[in-house]
Structure 1
């Protein structure tokens, strides 16, 4: 019996080696291995594989749809497995083909620039990703007091940083409310606006209240100035500074206040709704 089995195996081996083609459900394979489905349904399974737990890992349907761990693929290649949900990522490699040779719609991972690119049939284009842009909204109810300095026969504040903000919204964590420093996450244009109200202010004639948006890195500033031609006695003073500023990645922006010809200390209002800072990446 063993001799007969050996002869049969040898015969099959020679047959496969001689024809170099294997057919499953077909007597006339047209390729090295041809599998013909036993069903005529469009979504019928022509080929499946299962793992040792008898969970289907791969299927090819009559309509050419392929599901990797997916029982009902909805697109030509469907990897969105629920039964094998540990990893459903798709790995894409590089190609040295021209965009024309690869054809329109081809995708590659360009290892040199470390980015995905697609072909329009003529050129390779990098897939652009819109970053989660910076957005900051803060209020200040701290009631910070600034003590004037006496110099050249006048009292004034020396470009003092407005700190101790309360962060209402900070999308990416670019703002330090304690120090009042905003750090630009990337090169670009930023819209900045600040309103600051001071209470019970006394100034002599000719005084002015300046609010600055200051680039700490470059030591430059954009400012809004409110002049007072006559003497001010125990008044509430308001200033608003708005601007579009260009910052490079890592540069820091803060709010400064400057007043001169003061007759007393100056204190910010404790009403947070009056003292507002907004910074938005454009």
Structure 2
């Protein structure tokens, strides 16, 4: 009995020393080795791209069987981004060395154990430059958003040219300039137009409208081109929208000039 027990202990000890666990693979190459797609080929490094391995030293690799650090995500596939989310934890609760992502300012912060400190970064500022040759029609006395733009520049891709809606990618100061030109037509007596730049925000602090007015007092009647412009500076929060609008009361329906250079929009975030 003692002899059998001794043999069993020796065998059991050997299993504890040499055992490796493999999932989706018959011959694991680490203490724990998971082959996500069951496609690993020994000695072919690219076949480990979907593997997760934990070594005897306690290192963990995602996409590599030979992790060099506590967490190593460097693989041949180069899908090696590290996802970091936001948190409501205080810096002291998260402890020194923790990282978090701030969606409002679009930056990373680290905890020193007392406060969250933003890492130095330079996210690209919003910049939109667009022209309009759509010949959009505007009914006299009715305000309407200027739509169907042609984008020349949109750094962060947050301007919808079809609807004419811009969405601020981050909180900050934005400078907006809008110019327009209408096709030649008769101008009514004592008539006017308004160009409007407005935000669409749930915050009363940033829900603003800038209006610029052009008037044609007295007797008119000649066929002429009407043009104007408007500009403004807005303090926006992330997600606020900007549209430019035209409200013409010149007597009859008017259309934008088809010369794209005559109607333009620029939005720049500081």
Coarse TM-score class (shorter-chain normalised) = 0.5 to 0.7
Structure holding more strand per residue: 1
SS of 2:133's equivalent in the other structure is coil
Residue by residue, what CA displacement relative to the aligned partner does 1:39-72 show, whole Å, maximum 9, x if unpaired? xxxxxxxx996744243434468xxx95636466
CA distance in structure 2 between the aligned counterparts of 1:48 and 1:109, rounded to whole angstroms = 38
Q: How many aligned positions are there? A: 228
Mapping for residues 148-163 of structure 1, pairs under 5 Å: 148=140, 157-163=141-147
Equivalent in the alignment of 1:191: 175
**8 A contact 1:70–1:78 mirrored in 2:** no
Segment of structure 1 superposing worse, 210-219 or 240-249: 210-219
Report the TM-score when normalising by structure 1: 0.54
Larger radius of gyration: 1
One of 212, 215, 228 as aligned partner of 1:239: 228
Equivalent in the alignment of 1:21: none
CA distance in structure 2 between the aligned counterparts of 1:162 and 1:71, rounded to whole angstroms = 56
**8 A contact 2:158–2:166 mirrored in 1:** no
What is the deviation of 1:271?
2.0
Residue by residue, what CA displacement relative to the aligned partner does 1:89-139 show, whole Å, maximum 9, x if unpaired? 6899x9x99859955xx22679xxxx986333x524165798786554443
Runs of 5+ unmatched residues, structure 2: 31-52, 102-106
Equivalent in the alignment of 1:107: 98
Runs of 5+ unmatched residues, structure 1: 17-34, 36-46, 149-156
**8 A contact 1:48–1:59 mirrored in 2:** no
Report the TM-score when normalising by structure 2: 0.56
Specify whether residues 172 and 70 from structure 1 end up closer, same or farther in structure 2 by C-alpha distance, changes over 3 A only. same
Specify whether residues 209 and 50 from structure 1 end up closer, same or farther in structure 2 by C-alpha distance, changes over 3 A only. same
What is the deviation of 1:273?
3.0
CA distance in structure 2 between the aligned counterparts of 1:254 and 1:90, rounded to whole angstroms = 34
One of 118, 124, 138 as aligned partner of 1:146: 138
One of 166, 174, 177 as aligned partner of 2:162: 177
Residue by residue, what CA displacement relative to the aligned partner does 1:228-250 show, whole Å, maximum 9, x if unpaired? 57858333333222211234566
Equivalent in the alignment of 1:276: 264
CA distance in structure 1 between the aligned counterparts of 2:254 and 2:130, rounded to whole angstroms = 21
